[in-house]
Amino acid sequence: MLQFFRDPEREVINRENIVTSAADGRVIAIEKTLDPYQKKQSIKVSVFMNVFNVHSNKIPISGEIVDKFYYPGKFVNASLSKASLENERCAIIIKTKDKKIITCVQIAGLIARRILCYAKKKDQVNLGERYGFIRFGSRVDLYLPLNASVKVILGQKVKNVETIIATL
């Protein structure tokens, strides 16, 4: 149980216009789709966390939280694509100082029954800050602008803060 709640220190990559992983896990989806929170076409990159991964979530890009959404929902297996829209989830929209916008969504899984999100609307956040936690197997979706250059591949293992997901 102690292993599950670990939150290791990670070295923050200090570069502008990068989006790092918000979670440890494996990339299970990279696709063009509608961002349901911003209502616009985006690139979605999904990271699935199994029970052995670190479940502390970190801010993927510095900026301001311009909106926050919480939806109660089901608890289907988080590795299924329908989990993005059916499961309990909490989304934050981050706007950078350069006016680039991404959406970061914590999604509960089959066993996960509690999403913690400490970020609030109008908070100024920095890449690598801890902003939340999802208990047990779960998923984090990142919705990126269509002109983002994705730097990960399907099946790749990623670590929060350390793995660059995309450049903007």
**Annotated catalytic sites, by residue?**
138
d(CA 128, CA 115): 18
d(CA 12, CA 29): 24
d(CA 41, CA 77): 25
Instruction: Report the first-to-last Cα separation within the chain, whole angstroms.
Output: 37
Contact 48, 139 (CB under 8 A): yes
d(CA 31, CA 43): 6
Largest CA distance in the chain: 41
